[in-house]
Amino acid sequence: MALQEKSVVDKIEVLLSGVIQVRVRHQVLRGEEEIAATFERYVLSPGEDVSAKTTDARVNAIAAATWTDEVIAAYEASQTPAE
């Protein structure tokens, strides 16, 4: 039976700061059976261009729903060093 590779977003988390953490599962399948898997993670900061990192519709929808103007402003203010 032939091997098949498949990548799926299997975890999406939104932190209190609005940062979105995404985990991608890279699977190797023999038929329907997973014989190996590795993981990749990345983060998206409020206001970041989501389309530059993912095409997953769920990630895009979560970013659109949670990244209000207030969330983006609060995140940017928290990243500015205090003088």
Query: What is the pLDDT, as a whole number, of residue 81?
Result: 79
pLDDT at residue 1 is higher than 80: no
Cα-based distances in Å from 16 to 8, 22, 36, 71, 82? 25, 15, 33, 10, 21
pLDDT of residue 82: 65
10 vs 71: CA distance, rounded Å: 25
Mean pLDDT of all residues in 46-52: 94
Q: Are 42 and 13 in contact (CB under 8 A)?
A: no
Mean pLDDT across 3-22: 96
Give residue 80's pLDDT band: very low, low, confident or very high (50, 70, 90): confident
d(CA 9, CA 26) in angstroms, rounded, equals 9
